[in-house]
Amino acid sequence: MHASGNLIAGAWRYLAALAVLICAATTVVAAGYTLTGRINGPDGMWDYAEIDAASHRLYLAQTEQISMLDLTPGGIWSQIGQPGAMWHQVLPLPSRGLMLATNGAEHALAVYELNTHTLLTNIRTGSGASEALKGREAAYAVLSDPDALVLEPQSGLAAVVNGGSGDIVLVDLEHDVVVGTVHVGGKLEFAVVDGRGNLFVNVETTHAIAVIDVARRAVLRRIRLQGCEEPTGLAYDSAADLLVSVCGNGVVKFMSATSGKELASLKVGRGADEVLLDARRRRIFIPSAADARLHIFDIHDPHDVRETQTLVTEPGVRLGALDALSGNLYLPAARLGPPVAPRPWPSAVAGTFHVLVVTPPFSDL
């Protein structure tokens, strides 16, 4: 009887230990970001996406239309269509009641009333590619001019990145006029601001980040990105004064914005077009199109940046948007087809466009 009792007690201890191990394993699996949803959407290729946390709405530049998705459960899509347009970025400004959008085909910044989506004005911001860009690259640059867009908070000016002509155009939104142009040179990509009057922009053709003083309308200096080819996506973390730039050759650079010193250089997949920052959770996300992976980095210590997870996405996923409140990421995707002239990039097969939803671990909520 005593031996039998010991055997039963031992069995219970074994089962309890096994349960702990199972729970621990479950915790490890659940500790990472997970792909939790897929939202079907309107046809078309896509560029930059933005989320207005206040209205819980996703804004997406989608070739000839601006697409908007209500992110509440059961939310639906709505569109603003404009044949012949080439939308690159949509920026909602709730405090001003405006929505801005860059139109590469018209070389203009479109200004809409945010709630009614009424077009208020088109502001001419450029006319074509710089003489430094030749052949196919120049033809592409004309199509992508203007491209990225950011609001500089100190001046209140909208900064439009003319990717082809290599300059930053500053727009006064109170009077709907261009009030300055900063010539940077080369083919420009994404831009970010530090909130103190400085703007940073990736220069793809010189593998550098140009630092611009918006008030002085001047390039202050250039931060060289050693070992980086064709930088595209860029993010700025004010808490660590950290610039993060992703490069076409599958490298991501972590740089001090003040000193220009490289703090880390890590491998990612090729074909990434954006760096997504979650400042609250201290995470950086790189969606790489070539390897169909979302690379996730911890930046709690900018001198010890580490990749904590890679999450399988889909081929072609290179851009996205992050909801600062929920921590969810929304990654546009589609089955890709051959280019449709005159555009040199792949097309989206009809009926296949969707948005992948990536959710943070419970501990990060």
Residue 16 lies in domain: 2-364
Span 254-271, average pLDDT: 97
Number of domains making up the chain = 1
pLDDT tens track for 136-152: 444 444 444 789 999 99
CATH number at residue 350: 2.130.10.10
Task: Please tell me the distance from the alpha carbon of residue 46 to that of residue 106, in angstroms, as a whole number.
Answer: 17
Contacts of 60 (CB under 8 A, 6+ apart): 46, 48, 49, 66, 67, 68, 69, 90, 321, 332
Averaged pLDDT of the chain? 88
pLDDT tens track for 88-113: 999 999 999 999 999 988 899 999 99
Which H or E run contains 13? Answer: helix 2-30
What pLDDT score was predicted for residue 137?
Answer: 46
pLDDT tens track for 186-207: 999 999 999 999 999 999 999 9
- Quick one: which of 251, 223, 257 has its CA closest to 239? 257
